[in-house]
Every structure is written in C-alpha cells, then in structure tokens.
C-alpha cells in the first residue's frame, strides 16, 4: 500500500506491506534508528514518537495507519547540534545511562509537558508509567523533566 507522511518535517512516500509496523517503517525504511523496539506488547515505551502532536507507541500502529500524519521522532528534537531543552535537562541531570529507553522517555516527556507545563512529581511519574527504564530507577528522569519544565517555562 502507498503511504505519504511527514517525519521530522520531511515528506515521505512509500509502498509498504500492510502488516509493517510504524516502528519498523521508521527504523528499516527511513533508517531512523533512534526509535527503539524493546518489547512486543506495547508496554516498554522505547518506541514512543509523536503523531500529530501526541505521544504514541509506534509499535502499536501499522505504517499504513500513519498515512497522512505528521510524525516527530527523537531525531527531530534537536536543532542541529543544539539540544532541545528536554534533551539538555536529561544530560544535566544524568537522566540516562545505557540510552536505550532514552528516545522514548524524551518523546513522552515532551507530551507530558505539552499537556501540563508545570507538572508535580506525581504527575510526571504517572505520565512515565508507560515507559520502562531498567538503569536509572527513574529518579533522574523525573528530575530531568522537572528541570525541563522550568527551562521551557522561562
């Protein structure tokens, strides 16, 4: 099936198998390997992207369902060498270790802050419920998002 969509501001059009997941489309067809796949049950959140502005797990969607949509992946967050304030805060607060869950965490964080610019710790933790991290114990991820909120609100 033919699909056309926008990813990180660029237009793409491809013939894809109907069963191809959006996560695999991003990784295998567009070579955007920052979107990671950590499970097969849409539980871990490593594949989180934004679709028309909302965070979604790209493994839950087929590529054909994204036809006509606007997608941002982790590769679309930084402005060249200049990190997005969320990425910057993750670095400053050691909000990542092995880095595998990080793209999904950053994309989820962007969704949390879009919907709630001043979240409490509890609201951040609730917002991260669908993203697993095995390295950080979430402590510094929560701190990173708290600091990102401050930066963005400045």
Partner 1 sequence: MGSYIGKSVKRREDARFLKGEGKYTDDIKLPNMTHMAFVRSPYASANVLSVDTSEAEKAEGVVAVFTAEDGCGQYGVPCGWQVNFKNGETMREPQHPLLAKDKIRHVGEPVAIVIAETQALARDAAELVAVEYEELPAVTNPKEAMKDGAPKVHDQFPDNMAFDWCIGNDRAEVEAALEKAHHVTELEFINQRLAPNAIEPRSYIADYDVNGDKWTLYTSTQNPHLIRLLMCAFVLGIPEHKVRVVSYDVGGGFGSKIYHYTEEALVTWVSREIARPVKWTADRSEAFLMDAHGRDHVVKSKMGFDKEGHIVAHLTDEYCSMGAYLSTFAPAIPTYLHGTLFQGLYKTPLIHLNVVAPFTHTVPVDAYRGAGRPEATYLIERLVSKGAKEMGMDPAEIRFKNFIEPFDGVNQPGYQTQVALQYDSGNYAPALEKALDAIGYKDFRKEQAEARKNGKLLGLGISTWIEGCGIAPSAVVGALGARAGLYEVGHVRVQPTGKVSVYTGTHSHGQGHETAFAQFVADRLGIPMDDVEIIHGDTEQVAFGMGTYGSRSLSVGGSAIVKSIEKVLEKGAKIAAHKLEASVEDLEYAGGKWTVKGTDKSISFGDVSLTAYVPHDYPQGLEPGLDFSSFYDPANFTFPFGAHLAIVEVDQDTGKVDLKRFVTCDDVGNIINPMIVDGQIHGGVVQGIGQALLEEVVFDESGQMITGSYMDYAMPRADDLPMIETHNTVTPCPHNPLGVKGAGEAGAIGSTPAVVNAVVDALWHLGVRDIQMPLTPQRVWKAMQQ
Closer to partner 1 by CB, 3 or 44: give it.
44
**E strands along 36-146, which residues?**
48-51, 54-57, 70-72
> Is residue 43 close enough to count as binding partner 1 by CB under 8 A?
yes
Q: Of the two residues 46 and 149, which places its CB atom closer to partner 1 in the complex? A: 46
Stretch 101-130 residues interacting with partner 1 (CB under 8 A): 101-103, 106, 121-122, 124-126, 128-129
**Sole binder of partner 1 in the list 4, 39, 54, 60 (CB under 8 A):** 39
Residues 107, 151, 90, 136: what is their CA dihedral angle, to the nearest 10 degrees?
-90
Helix locations, 6-138, DSSP H: 22-24, 85-92, 102-115, 121-127
Nearest Cα neighbor of 137 from 89, 103, 93, 107 is 93
Residue 3 as a binder of partner 1 (CB under 8 A): the answer is: no
Structure tokens at 6: 């926008």
Task: Point out which residues bind partner 1 (CB under 8 A).
Answer: 17, 19-20, 27, 31-41, 43-44, 46, 73-75, 77-78, 83, 87, 90-92, 94, 96-103, 106, 121-122, 124-126, 128-129, 131-142
């Amino acid at each position: 099936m033919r699909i056309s969509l926008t990813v990180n501001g660029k237009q793409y059009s491809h013939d894809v198998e109907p069963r191809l997941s959006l996560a695999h489309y991003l990784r295998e067809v567009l070579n955007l390997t920052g979107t990671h796949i950590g499970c097969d049950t849409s539980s871990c959140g490593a594949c989180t992207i934004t679709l028309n502005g909302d965070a979604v797990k790209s493994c839950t969607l087929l590529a054909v369902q994204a036809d006509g949509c606007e997608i941002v992946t982790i590769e679309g967050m930084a402005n060249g060498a200049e990190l997005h304030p969320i990425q910057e805060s993750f670095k400053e607060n050691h909000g990542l270790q092995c880095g595998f869950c990080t793209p999904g965490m950053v994309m989820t964080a962007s969704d949390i802050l879009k919907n709630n610019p001043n979240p409490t710790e509890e609201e951040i933790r609730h917002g991260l419920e669908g993203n697993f991290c095995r390295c950080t114990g979430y402590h510094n991820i929560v701190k990173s998002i708290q600091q990102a909120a401050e930066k963005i609100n400045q």
